[in-house]
Structure 1
Amino acid sequence: MTDFKGESEFNQWANHFEEFYPTGSRAEAEFRFSRTAVVTARLWTTFIDETIRQATGQSRARWQTLSVLVFSKDPLATVELSHRMAVQWPTLVRILNELEADGLITREVNPDDRRSRMIAPTAAGRAVFNEVRQILDPTRAELLAGFEEEELRMAEAVLDRFFNLLVQRLERG
């Protein structure tokens, strides 16, 4: 399923690592944190994508779009949905076309801006989202069972801070 290796494997092949990032240095900690965040996100994405696709036939793009819509109280404009998902507008439109063709979302003219569309999940879209949740929630719970709730909240806080710093940097250009 994957070619990702664990940290001990990284230490075995990165035998010149300390020449670039001295052991115990701030630079080493920063490198290891960012590398771990990236590799973990890739591995989780690969794992959960395949698990959900095998069980439901839904791609990540489809079920993540539905999840943002289901979690939103009101219909969302396309541009707002694009921002919430951190995807480019043209990519999102292709996904929305597929979801609409399958009867999983509706797109209505935005009363505040007739050039824009308001997107909402249909009952069928909510059902697909719930089908995905039946796979996602227990899988995530099983994998994270060894962590205390406080550890999860602390990890989320650190990743949120990192995420917000990245967003600020991107907004500055």
Structure 2
Amino acid sequence: MDETTKTPNRTPADEALTDLILSLFRVNNLTLTWGDRLVAPLGLTSARWQILGAIVAAERPQPVAWLARDLGANRQNVQRIVNDLAKEGLVRFEPNPHHRRAQLVVLTDKGQQTYDAAIRLYNPRVNTLAEGLPIEDLETAGRVMKALRKKFEAEENAEEQS
């Protein structure tokens, strides 16, 4: 960024973070488009694939609200997608012994097979994407993303409590 486009009262760190955030917006959009194309043959979208992944990653069945929290997503959007996945037989709902109304979301055999097929498509593609990117840079980027996520979550929690 040249001197004429800098915003007054911003530090170099502010400028660097702004550049990073703008890049993240663009990379996020490109990643979602890439993912949509990758899993389209399986009848999935990036959003559906993400939710299947969150279900797989969870240590035990979770209600939609918890899946949404883990994804950093809107609960209503996750509920809509989970309902669609249930209609397609990829997930099912089970009673939640801790909450009568918040049913647990469970992957079906068909859902597991679909998720596994997505991973089989993903692995060679991610290997290609990783080529030429130093592992140290990837690890640093991951740490920065996790730190930013924590800061955004803390800010969101503070706003909810005020």
TM class by shorter chain equals 0.7 to 0.9
In 1, Cα distance between equivalents of 2:14 and 2:64: 40
Closer, same or farther in 2 for the Cα pair 1:28/1:135, shift >3 Å? same
**Aligned ranges for residues 8-157 of structure 1 at < 5 Å?**
18-21=3-6, 25-53=12-40, 55-157=41-143
Q: Count matched residues.
A: 156
Secondary structure, aligned partner of 1:106 = strand
Q: Which runs of 5+ in 1 are unaligned?
A: 1-10, 12-16
Paired amino acid for 2:115: F
Offset of 1:136 from its aligned partner?
1.6
Whether the 8 Å contact between 2:35 and 2:45 is mirrored in structure 1 is no
2:150 match: 164
CA distance in 1, matches of 2:50, 2:112: 12
State the one-letter code of the partner of 1:162.
Answer: L
Structure 2 residue runs without a partner (length 5+): none
Name the CA shift for 1:147/1:81 in 2 (closer, same or farther; >3 Å).
same
- Calculate the aligned-residue CA RMSD, in Å: 1.9
**Residues in 1 aligned to 2:75 and 2:153: alpha-carbon distance in whole angstroms:** 17
> What is the CA-CA distance between 1:110 and the residue it aligns to?
0.6
**What is the TM-score normalised by the length of structure 2?**
0.86
